[in-house]
Chains A and B, each alone.
Chain A
């Protein structure tokens, strides 16, 4: 289009010489000016783009097709250099990059079977991406500063993100040195994201959120594109595997697909210790012997229940009073007298009851049926009871049912939709609803912050509704008391 218009303007210029000179000249001038302007703009655009690129050098990873192959090998080279750096300091890292692990997972059989075969092409580490993510177990290295000196000598720029140590965040007012949570090593147009994992009570690994302090360079890398760090995360300790991929020796999780699955819902919530401390200021903890003993019993019951359900592969979460205890005071509520768990009905397995019985927790009662309002109750040590509520998902809400044994009355407890997050509770890694506040408020109303010693499960909850009566002929089935 452009050349044609150029001709047009020249033609206009010719016409302008023939008649009405002033007007024509004006028009000509205008046209010339315009074309000049467009030319200038064109140039400017070019320059600006060039400038924009150089300014973001490495930060905006160019997606220009032409330089694809160069980019590919850059990534590989950066990863190779990084692995060299790490191994020269004897720091064991393992690959957790979801993009690469996704690719690796497709060929996992082949990679496992030929652990050191040379690869014909750069298949994994050259794949298009902005970062390569590795994990580091904190306890496996000594925080030597030497690593960073060497990194700088190799041409890496690096960024360290530190924050407070959540393991000291309990009820005691401790403040330690801040701990490193993330490192980013940048070289040329590629960056390595090194996520530091910490072992925590409850036999799991934790990584922190990535939060930039005020003075930090916000353009160091496009932080939003990172795969780790938006939220803290909780993971099982992975089994690792040494493999050769793209001629590089790396460690990867033995089962990449299950790692990726785990990653997709790894979000971790820290207990609200500060609020819990404030709560305890207002309502001092019950330090009586009864309370102490109930807590010991409830904790061991919860540990046993978690072990049993985890062995079955049944996903569960802290519900009702136990969830409130976690959210409000980071502890078991001493006057709650039972432990409450929630399970989605889709995760129901017939083996649940025998498994609990085998673990030494006899069934105390069973209300409802799998299709409707199922609720199980097991007898723990002495008078501590384990209640398992099954939750039914609907279009816009989730509910669980209750049954009054003597009348056969049914109740329905409504909850807004929620997803599950990990947390740590009494040295256990367990699920809680991510949207805990809504969950607790649905159950206990806006005054959940005020302890209530008297609680009637049929009338006290703010989300309860009558749900009719079980037909008498079904009673034997839906009301079983042992």
Chain B
């Protein structure tokens, strides 16, 4: 029972033990607490450290990622940014213009933009057009107004320049001999006081704004016929306008953006930059039905004749069936303006570092251009080759589309050319007629890829050989007896007057009167009869029906051919062997067709038109068609002129060009 009673003696003990236990517990707890506290502190510290580390890490990681993300993809070529000229806020340009017998120069703000002191060159009036807002040179021309017609070209040019542009004129050597009144009055209307009285060997400089103020003019009169006026130096200031004033406000389209870029850079392209009614730069000609040449690349071979290129591309892009995507313009040299023209039309242009000189340079440019064309269009079997000084007929692609299969199928063909060397106004008649000829005319032609890649490219004349590429292509080693197909009426027109092998006289004599087809959609006839064997059948048929002309008459005279239309006539000339062209050359000369070398022949046969009659010339006995000659007819023989004369003829042309 007592057991039930709490034992007081025990109690304290019990109490003590509880206390001790509690104390112990408390002590333990304190230790725990301490432990916990330290733990907490440690943990907090760790958290802080971890946090800081995390921040640093993420930051570094982010930074690294930034750096690295694109590292592998960086262009290894360091793009050295060309330091841009600070925006020129200057409102005034200093212009210096110098005119003298042997030297002209123009400096704008201390930069020489024209300097010509070459001998025997650059005679006449030099014109420079500056942008009135930026002061950039937009056009540079020289008009040799000592020679005839150049003043007309100058008037044409000045009329094309937009109002507000700054014009700078200076004369080198002589600029008045053929400066007619029209030109003088145009100069007068620009504000020149001296122009109407400019005379023999005067020196003259003039700076003015088209349709606005005159900034300066200086003149030095020539004291005597045999001497020149004293050199003059004009120093003046030109006030610039704002960019907005110098630009047109065309609607904002992709086309007009190209136009704007072009028009702010160059001058002298006429209505393409007209503010009111600009001429279109996109032509959208009718597509061709069943166009076989839509995927054929077109290589335009160009130099630094941007105005020519402009005219050429306009006609090319207006031709039916053209595919602008296949056109590539190859520019020989790093000229800006031709590239501007190419970009204006939204075409692709490629510049070529010039290699070698003269003919070899042209020839290397051709090679590079052809190689690049087949590389850019690896699937193409053909390439159309054009030059910058050609007008392209509206049915150029239609002509090719109808005939290109022959080039693919007939191994005996060398090319298809749009140019008939003998197709003059008075010797070509039928737009639907095609010929086979042994010569390669060029001037707009189609080249087979296999011919280029397997034969021509590996053997192409190397840069040190000063050969004409076309002459080389005409050599028997290359041509190997193959022929080209040409139309009777050319599908291209050679308008270039300035060129490596070209001058005004030469152009007038041999190219100006060339016939050029302007009829669209001409359906070619008898394309199949152009194949090798079929053509022989065709020729025999033609000779069979041809009327033999009266060989006692003079073939040079008009009366040689009767006044009929649509008939076929044949004449026989003497041609001792395959290479005997003595009589032919004389005949060509008097017929006023190409006579500088032999063109357009097929096995000793020439085909052309006289008085709207088909006119065949057969060389006897070299031609296999000699058998068609009636035995009564004696082939005509024409004596070449005395040797000296012939030899002098061409140099005389060159000499006439120099004063």
Q: Which of the four size classes fits the interface of chain B?
A: 35 or more
Asked whether A168 lies within 8 Å of B75 as measured between CB atoms, the reply is no
- Chain A residue at smallest Cβ distance from B350: A176
Q: Given A199-B379, A200-B375, A219–B66 Cβ distance below 8 Å? A: yes
A229 within 8 A of B: yes
Collect the chain A residues with CB atoms within 8 Å of residue B58's CB: 48, 52
A344 to B74, CA, bound (A): 35
Residue among A34, A44, A173 making CB contact with B45, cutoff 8 Å: A34
Residues in chain A near residue B355, CB distance under 8 A: 172-173
Using a CB-CB cutoff of 8 Å, which residues 322-369 of chain B contact chain A? 325, 330, 348-353, 355, 364, 367-368
Q: Give chain B nearest CB distance to A76 CB in angstroms.
A: 26
Nearest Cβ in chain A — how far from B257, in angstroms? 9
Which residues on A sit within 8 Å (CB–CB) of B33? 8, 11-12, 15
Binds B, one of A92-100, A108-116, A186-194, A207-215: A207-215
A219 contact from B36, B69, B371, Cβ within 8 A: B69
B526 within 8 A of A: no
Partner among B68, B75, B459 whose Cβ is within 8 Å of the Cβ of A212 = B75
Interface contact A5-B458, CB-CB below 8 Å: no
A168 touching B47, Cβ below 8 Å: no
A302 to chain B, nearest CB (A): 14
B62 near A52 with CB under 8 A, answer yes
Binary per-residue interface labels of chain B (29-43) against chain A in the complex, 1 for a CB within 8 Å, 0 otherwise: 000010011011101
Which residue, of A27, A35, A175, A216, has the highest number of chain B Cβ atoms within 10 A? A175
- Report Cα–Cα, A202/B378, bound state, in Å: 8
Residues of A within 8 A of B376 (CB): 165, 167-168
The CA of A37 and the CA of B58, in the complex, are separated in Å by 19
Distance in Å: Cβ of A221 to nearest Cβ of chain B: 9
The 8 Å CB contact of A223, one of B48, B69, B368, B371, is: B69
A64 at the interface (CB under 8 A from B): no
In the assembled complex, how far is the CB of residue B353 from the closest CB belonging to chain A, in whole angstroms? 4
List residues of chain A with CB within 8 A of the CB of B364.
Answer: 172
* Contact of A173 with B352 in the complex, beta carbons under 8 Å: yes
Residue-wise, chain B 357-398 has the 8 Å CB interface mask toward A (1 for contact) of: 000000010011001101111110000000000000000000
Closest to A141 in B: B325
Bound form: Cα–Cα A38–B48 in Å: 6
What is the CB-to-nearest-CB distance from B338 to chain A, in angstroms, rounded to a whole number? 13
Instruction: Give chain A nearest CB distance to B640 CB in angstroms.
Output: 36
Determine whether the beta carbon of A292 is less than 8 Å from that of B458. Answer: yes
Identify the closest chain A residue to B376 (Cβ): A167
| B37 near A11: Cβ-Cβ < 8 Å | yes
* Beta-carbon contact of B73 and A167 below 8 Å: no
Kindly state the separation between the CA atoms of A1 and B50 in the bound complex, as whole angstroms: 15
Find the B residue at minimum CB distance from A167.
B375
CB pair B40 A174 closer than 8 Å: no
Closest to B364 in A: A172
Contact between chains at B36 and A223 (CB < 8 Å): no
Give the CA-CA distance A177 to B350 in the complex, in Å.
7
In the complex, chain A residues whose CB is within 8 Å of the CB of B74: 211-212
* Residue-wise interface mask of B (510-528) relative to A, using a CB-CB cutoff of 8 A (1 in contact, 0 not): 0000000000000000000
Bound CA–CA A222/B482 (angstroms): 59
Q: Mark A292-307, 1 if CB is under 8 A from B, else 0.
A: 1001100000000000
Closest to A217 in B: B70
From A8, A42, A52, A230, contact of B40 by CB (8 A):
A8
Give A21-62 as 1s and 0s: 1 = Cβ < 8 Å from B's Cβ atoms: 000000100110011011001101100100010000000000
Whole-angstrom CA separation of A11 from B29 in the bound complex:
11
- A203 interface hit (Cβ, 8 Å): yes
Residue of A27, A44, A224 contacting most chain B CB atoms (<10 Å): A224
Neighbouring B residues of A202 by C-beta, 8 Å: 378
Given A37-B48, A175-B350, A212-B75: A5 and B70 interface contact (C-beta under 8 Å): no
Is A74 close to B, CB under 8 A? no
Check if A224 sits within 8 Å of B72, measured CB to CB: yes
Q: A12-B40, A167-B372, A201-B374 are in contact. Are A173 and B75 (CB under 8 A)?
A: no
Point out the residue from B54, B62, B351 that lies within 8 Å of A45, measured CB to CB.
B54
**A285, closest chain B residue (CB):** B462
Shortest distance between the CB of A136 and any CB in chain B (Å): 15
Contacts A168-B372, A168-B375, A176-B350 given; indicate if A45 touches B72 (C-beta within 8 A). no
Known: A175-B351, A230-B72. A201 touches B378 (CB 8 A): yes
Q: Are B348 and A292 in contact (CB under 8 A)?
A: no
* A170 CB within 8 Å of chain B: yes
Inter-chain contact B372/A218, CB cutoff 8 Å: no
For B70, what are the chain A residues with a Cβ–Cβ distance below 8 Å? 212, 216, 218-219, 223-224
Q: How many residues of A contact B (CB 8 A)?
A: 62
Give, as a whole number of angstroms, the nearest-CB distance from B140 to chain A.
24
Contact residues in A for B62 (Cβ distance below 8 Å): 52
Residues of B contacting A9 with CB < 8 Å? 37, 40
Query: Is A172 touching B48 in the complex (CB atoms < 8 A)?
Result: no
* Interface of chain B, main secondary structure: helix
Question: B454 an interface residue at 8 Å Cβ cutoff?
Answer: yes
Q: Which of B76, B371, B375, B378 has the most CB of A within 10 A?
A: B375
B153 at the interface (CB under 8 A from A): no
A466 touches B (CB below 8 Å): no
Considering the complex, give the chain B residue whose CB is closest to the CB of A33. Answer: B44
Q: Is A427 in the interface zone, CB < 8 Å from B?
A: yes
Q: What residues on B are CB-neighbors of A230 within 8 Å?
A: 72-73
**A142: chain B residues within 8 A (beta carbon):** 325
Please name all residues of chain A whose beta carbon is closer than 8 Å to the beta carbon of B377 when the two chains form the complex. 199
Q: Are A203 and B41 in contact, with the CB atoms below 8 A?
A: no
A174 & B44 in contact (Cβ 8 Å cutoff)? no
Q: In whole angstroms, how far apart are the Cα atoms of A139 and B297 in the complex? A: 12
Q: Who on chain A is nearest to B65 by CB?
A: A222
Considering the chains assembled together, what is the distance between the CA atoms of A52 and B41 in angstroms? Answer: 30
Contact status A177-B348, CB under 8 Å: yes
A472 contacts partner chain B, Cβ-Cβ < 8 Å: no
Q: Least Cβ distance of A303 to chain B in Å? A: 11
B254 at the interface (CB under 8 A from A): yes
CA distance A215 to B39 in the complex (A): 53
Chain B residues within 8 Å of A175, by CB: 350-353
**Which residue on chain B has the smallest CB distance to residue A176?**
B350
Interchain CB contact under 8 A, A34 and B351: no
Q: Is the CB of A282 closer than 8 A to any CB of chain B?
A: no
Q: Which residues in A have their C-beta under 8 angstroms from that of B37?
A: 8-9, 11-12, 27, 31
- For residue A452, CB closer than 8 A to chain B, the reply is no
Name the residue of chain B whose CB is nearest to the CB of A36. Answer: B44
Asked if B577 CB lies within 8 Å of chain A CBs, one says no
| A44 with B55: CB separation less than 8 A | yes
B453 at the interface (CB under 8 A from A): yes
Is A145 at the interface (CB under 8 A from chain B)? yes
**Docked pose: A12 CA to B47 CA in angstroms:** 19
A4 to B33, CA, bound (A): 12
Q: Which residues of A have CB within 8 Å of B374?
A: 201
In the complex, A37→B458 CA distance in Å?
79
Residues of B close to A145: CB separation below 8 A: 254
Chain A contacts for B554, CB-based, 8 A? none
In the complex, whether A287 has a CB less than 8 A from a CB of chain B is: yes
Q: Which of chain B's residues has its CB closest to A10's CB?
A: B40
* Residue contacts A-B, CB under 8 angstroms, 27 given: A5-B39, A8-B36, A12-B33, A12-B36, A15-B33, A31-B41, A34-B45, A37-B44, A41-B51, A45-B54, A163-B75, A170-B371, A172-B367, A172-B371, A174-B330, A174-B372, A175-B351, A177-B349, A211-B74, A213-B79, A214-B78, A214-B79, A216-B70, A218-B69, A219-B66, A287-B462, A292-B459
Q: A-side interface residues toward B, CB under 8 Å?
A: 1, 4-5, 7-9, 11-12, 15, 27, 30-31, 34-35, 37-38, 41-42, 44-45, 48, 52, 139, 142, 145-146, 163, 165, 167-168, 170, 172-177, 199-203, 209-216, 218-219, 222-224, 229-230, 287, 292, 295-296, 427
Where the two chains meet, the residues of B that have a C-beta atom closer than 8 Å to any C-beta of A are: 33, 36-37, 39-41, 43-45, 47-48, 51-52, 54-55, 58, 62, 65-66, 68-70, 72-76, 78-79, 81, 254, 325, 330, 348-353, 355, 364, 367-368, 371-372, 374-379, 453-454, 458-459, 462
The 4 tightest CB contacts between A and B, nearest first, are A173-B353, A172-B368, A34-B44, A218-B70
